[in-house]
């Protein structure tokens, strides 16, 4: 019996204690962080905030303290006003790397993006952006020198005898074997895009007619071809209105100057038939005229004979 009474008494006192504690603890609500501030982990773990309880605030991730006290206190059922002022952390200039440039026009504060570029003749390897995080700049990158493919020339040799690819701004010299002429520049540079500038030269076999003189002819011939093409194509429909005899002549003249390939077959077929009928007509007319002339001559001769005789 005594033990039962004891337990009852103990439970009563526990209940009393609990009521006292809860009443006293209910004074302030759970505090919250403010602008760019948060409760410390320690304060977050607390559940009850009786009068005069002090909790600690800290700056949010990416922010640092500018001024003010970190503490707020529960006073008369309310938390005192937070005085902690935090500002964005400044990551500063990203650490310099060889041949690397940063565009920090957005600033270097927390959250800012910085564009990473390389100097002329270098290309970026890695991230072309960096961002300012709480821990500092994100993004790894380096600037690698631009290289060109191994130089090559048929029937000749170059000044490059390394197994590595030539780097930006390397000059390569080209020499042709005997009996070959170098066409182009004998020295070219590996440019910032990894191309040879000017183009790599070629070695041509030495001949009577050098390759250089035949090239301009080729290129100047091209526009002429185009012109004749348009003339022939547009004149063919118009020709159908002309008499047959002229048609043949006009088209064959057009064909003489046509050297094109794409329209050639079409024109040939088209023109051949026209030319054939034109020629036939011309021959017939010629024969008729000739016959007329001959008959005329005979008649004239007969007339003369009659006058004499
Ligand atoms: C607070 O707790 C979080 C996880 O709950 C942890 O990541 C962080 O490092 C802690 N901060 C401090 C200051 O201990
Ligand atoms: C940096 O970037 C901004 C826009 O993102 C651009 O207007 C500015 O010209 C850049 N500055 C340089 C030096 O490239
Ligand atoms: C002849 O060519 C002219 C100009 O190209 C065009 O306006 C005309 O319609 C053509 N005539 C015929 C019969 O195709």
Res 236: pLDDT: 45
Res 234: pLDDT: 40
Q: 257 CA distance to ligand 3 centroid (A)?
A: 21
Res 35: pLDDT: 87
Cβ contacts of 242 within 8 Å, gap of 6 or more: 250
Compute the chain's Rg from CA coordinates.
Answer: 50
The predicted-structure confidence for 66-92, as pLDDT tens digits, reads as follows 999 999 999 999 999 999 999 999 999
Give Cα separations from 243 to 17, 262, 290 (angstroms): 128, 29, 21
* Tokens matching residue 201: 């030269």
Which parts of the chain have pLDDT scores under 50? 19, 25, 213-237, 239-274
d(CA 19, CA 215): 106
Res 81: pLDDT: 92
The predicted-structure confidence for 212-225, as pLDDT tens digits, reads as follows 544 444 444 444 43
Res 38: pLDDT: 94
Mutate to test the pocket of ligand 2, among 100, 101, 103, 129 (most ligand atoms within 8 A of CB): 103
Closest residue by Cα to residue 112 from 84, 140, 93: 93
d(CA 72, CA 87): 19
Mutate to test the pocket of ligand 2, among 105, 113, 116, 117 (most ligand atoms within 8 A of CB): 105
Q: Is 77 left (phi over 0), alpha (psi -120 to 50) or beta?
A: left
Res 14: pLDDT: 56
238 lines ligand 3 (CB under 6 A): yes
* Atom number, ligand 3, closest to the C-alpha of residue 241: 13
Q: 87 CA distance to ligand 2 centroid (A)?
A: 26
d(CA 130, CA 15): 60
Q: Determine if the peptide bond prior to 198 is cis (ω within 30°).
A: yes
Return the axis-axis angle of helices 211-239 and 244-257, rounded to nearest 10°: 160
Res 210: pLDDT: 52
Res 121: pLDDT: 97
């Amino acid at each position: 019996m005594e033990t039962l009474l004891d337990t009852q008494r103990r439970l009563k006192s526990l209940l009393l204690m609990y009521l006292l504690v809860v009443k006293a603890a209910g004074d302030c609500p759970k505090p919250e962080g403010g602008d760019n501030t948060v409760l410390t982990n320690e304060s977050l773990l607390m559940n009850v905030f009786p009068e005069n309880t002090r909790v600690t605030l800290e700056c949010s991730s990416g922010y640092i303290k500018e001024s003010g006290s970190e503490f707020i206190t529960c006073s008369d059922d309310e938390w005192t006003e937070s005085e902690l002022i935090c500002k964005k952390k400044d990551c500063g200039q990203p650490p310099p790397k060889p041949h690397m440039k940063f565009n920090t026009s957005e600033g270097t504060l927390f959250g800012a993006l910085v564009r990473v570029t390389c100097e002329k003749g270098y290309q970026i390897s890695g991230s072309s952006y960096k961002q300012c995080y709480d821990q500092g700049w994100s993004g790894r990158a380096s600037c690698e020198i631009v290289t060109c493919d191994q130089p090559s020339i048929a029937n000749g040799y170059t000044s490059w005898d390394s197994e590595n690819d030539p780097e930006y701004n390397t000059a390569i010299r080209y020499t042709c074997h005997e009996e070959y002429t170098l066409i182009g520049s004998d020295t070219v540079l590996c440019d910032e895009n990894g191309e040879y500038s000017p183009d790599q030269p070629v070695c041509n076999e030495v001949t009577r007619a050098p390759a250089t003189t035949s090239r301009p002819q080729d290129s100047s011939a091209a526009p002429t071809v185009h012109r004749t093409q348009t003339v022939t194509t547009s004149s063919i429909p118009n020709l159908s209105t002309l008499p047959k005899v002229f048609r043949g002549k006009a088209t064959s003249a057009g064909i003489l100057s046509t050297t094109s390939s794409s329209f050639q077959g079409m024109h040939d077929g088209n023109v051949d038939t026209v030319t054939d009928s034109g020629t036939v007509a011309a021959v017939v007319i010629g024969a008729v005229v000739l016959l007329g002339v001959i008959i005329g001559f005979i008649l004239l001769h007969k007339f003369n004979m009659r006058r004499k005789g």
